[in-house]
Amino acid sequence: MARRRRPETTEAAAPPEEEPRPPAALTIDALGRKCPIPIIMLADQINSVPLNSVVAVLADDPAAFTDIPAWCRLKSHHHVGSYVLARGGWAIHVRRNY
């Protein structure tokens, strides 16, 4: 007796859903700039947004990916998340705490 094979599915797996990003009150474009410039830009501009607002730092330097969250811990701001950009780099979201 021959065994029946299940038909193979041709559906592609659905891509994982992207995490919802909080809306940014300010976006700092630091693409193409090396650390510490993205942090300097963030430190210079974070007080220009209201308390509890989110600042998005666009950066493609791998050091910024780790250094901005570390800066948040040091300065008592909240690192909301880092999101991969389609064109390369990240949108690193920081919530102003004070």
50 within some domain: yes
pLDDT, position 20: 74
d(CA 57, CA 65): 10
Q: What's the pTM value of the predicted model, to 2 decimals?
A: 0.80
39 within some domain: yes
**pLDDT tens column, 7-56:** 444 444 433 445 678 899 999 999 999 999 999 999 999 999 999 999 99
d(CA 59, CA 81): 13
pLDDT, position 12: 46
**pLDDT tens column, 46-84:** 999 999 999 999 999 999 999 999 999 999 999 999 999
Instruction: Cite the active site residues.
Output: 35
Tell me which residue range forms the domain holding 53: 26-95
Structural contact between residues 39 and 97, judged by C-beta atoms closer than 8 angstroms: no
Total domains present in the chain: 1
18 within some domain: no
Structure tokens at 16: 């994982």
pLDDT, position 14: 38
pLDDT, position 79: 98
Please give the C-alpha separations between residue 98 and each of 54, 64, 94, in angstroms, as whole numbers. Answer: 12, 22, 12
- CATH number of the domain encompassing residue 42: 3.30.110.40
